[in-house]
A = this chain, B = another copy of it.
Amino acid sequence: MFAITILGNNSAVPAFDRHPTSQVLTLPGRNFLIDCGEGTQIQLIKYKIRRSKISHIFISHLHGDHYFGLVGLINSFALLGRQQELTIVAPEPLQEIIRMQLDAAHTTLCFPLKFITINCSGVLMTIDGVEVSCFRTDHRIECYGFVFKEIEKLRKLNIDAVKATEVPVNFYHHLKEGRDYVTPGGSVIKNELLTFPADKAKMYAFCADSRYDERILDHIKGADMIYHETTYLDTFAEIANARFHSTTRQAGKIARLAGVKKLLIGHFSSRYDTLEEFETETREVFPDTDLALEGVSYLMP
* Beta-carbon nearest neighbor of A68 in chain B: B72
User: Does A38 sit at the interface, judged by CB under 8 A?
Assistant: yes
A38, A80, A141 — which one has the most chain B CB atoms within 10 A of its CB?
A38
Are the CB atoms of B79 and A12 closer together than 8 Å? yes
A100→B71 CA distance, assembly (Å): 14
* Beta-carbon nearest neighbor of A73 in chain B: B38
Are the CB atoms of B41 and A14 closer together than 8 Å? yes
* Interface size of A in residues (CB-CB distance below 8 Å): 33
A106→B62 CA distance, assembly (Å): 9
User: Does A200 sit at the interface, judged by CB under 8 A?
Assistant: no
Are the CB atoms of B97 and A93 closer together than 8 Å? no
Q: How far is the CB of A179 from chain B (nearest CB, A)?
A: 51
Q: Which residues of B contact A83 (CB under 8 A)?
A: none
Residue of B15, B38, B62, B94 touching A45 (CB-CB under 8 A)? B15
Q: Which residues of B contact A45 (CB under 8 A)?
A: 14-15
Copies in the complex: 2
CB proximity to B under 8 Å, residues A52-83 = 62-65, 68-69, 71-72, 75-76, 79-80
Residue of B39, B75, B97, B106 touching A97 (CB-CB under 8 A)? B97
Are the CB atoms of B75 and A64 closer together than 8 Å? yes
A93→B94 CA distance, assembly (Å): 17
A140→B79 CA distance, assembly (Å): 15
User: Does A159 sit at the interface, judged by CB under 8 A?
Assistant: no
User: Does A127 sit at the interface, judged by CB under 8 A?
Assistant: no
Q: How far is the CB of A239 from chain B (nearest CB, A)?
A: 14
A141→B63 CA distance, assembly (Å): 29
Residue of B80, B94, B104 touching A62 (CB-CB under 8 A)? B104
User: Does A13 sit at the interface, judged by CB under 8 A?
Assistant: yes
Are the CB atoms of B39 and A79 closer together than 8 Å? no
Q: How far is the CB of A138 from chain B (nearest CB, A)?
A: 15
Residue of B14, B72, B76 touching A42 (CB-CB under 8 A)? B14
A101→B14 CA distance, assembly (Å): 18
User: Does A105 sit at the interface, judged by CB under 8 A?
Assistant: yes
Interface bits A88-121 vs B (CB < 8 Å: 1, else 0): 0000011011001100111000000000000000
14 A–B contacts from the bound complex (CB under 8 Å): A13-B76, A13-B80, A38-B68, A38-B72, A39-B42, A64-B72, A64-B101, A64-B105, A68-B71, A68-B75, A96-B100, A97-B97, A104-B141, A105-B141
**Chain A contacts to B: CB under 8 angstroms:** 12-15, 19, 38-39, 41-42, 45, 62-65, 68-69, 71-72, 75-76, 79-80, 93-94, 96-97, 100-101, 104-106, 140-141
Top 6 A-B residue pairs of the complex, sorted by shortest distance between their CB atoms: A62-B104, A38-B72, A64-B75, A68-B72, A13-B76, A39-B39
